[in-house]
Amino acid sequence: MSYLMIILVKLVQLVSSLLTLYMWVVIISAVLSWVNPDPYNPIVRFLRSITDPVYARIRRALPFVVVGGMDLSPVVVIVAVQILGALLDKLVFDMGMSMRVLGG
């Protein structure tokens, strides 16, 4: 039973790390949008391909995130990633505590 818990804890930690990585991708993408980079650059294309679909969903669900021509959807993504990260950290902590109580 304890091996299964260890695997689950590590999987949740992996998802948390991937969320943190995605948050940094969003931040880099937002900063790059301020300087108007070359749209044919492979890095810029990659960043846009993994962030634009999420931004589009947020803009559809929350049309008020575009205020005065300024798009705040990256801020919404960052806040959502932070909340999900905190929930996952709490989940890992609770799983670790239950392992300790069970004697694992």
Q: Collect all residues with Cβ–Cβ distance below 8 Å to 71 and sequence separation of at least 6.
A: 55, 59, 65
Give residue-wise pLDDT tens across range 3-13: 887 888 888 88
Determine the length of the chain. Answer: 104
Domain for residue 99, yes or no? no
Domain for residue 101, yes or no? no
Total domain count for the chain? 1
pTM, to two decimals:
0.83
Domain for residue 102, yes or no? no
Domain for residue 98, yes or no? no
Domain for residue 26, yes or no? yes
Q: What residue numbers bound the domain in which 59 lies? A: 2-93
Give residue-wise pLDDT tens across range 41-67: 999 999 999 999 999 999 999 988 888
Residue with tokens 């948390």: 16
Domain for residue 58, yes or no? yes
Q: Which of the given ranges, 13-17, 24-28, 70-74, 90-94, has the highest pLDDT on average?
A: 24-28
Q: Collect all residues with Cβ–Cβ distance below 8 Å to 54 and sequence separation of at least 6.
A: 73, 77
Instruction: Say whether pLDDT at 90 is over 80.
Output: yes
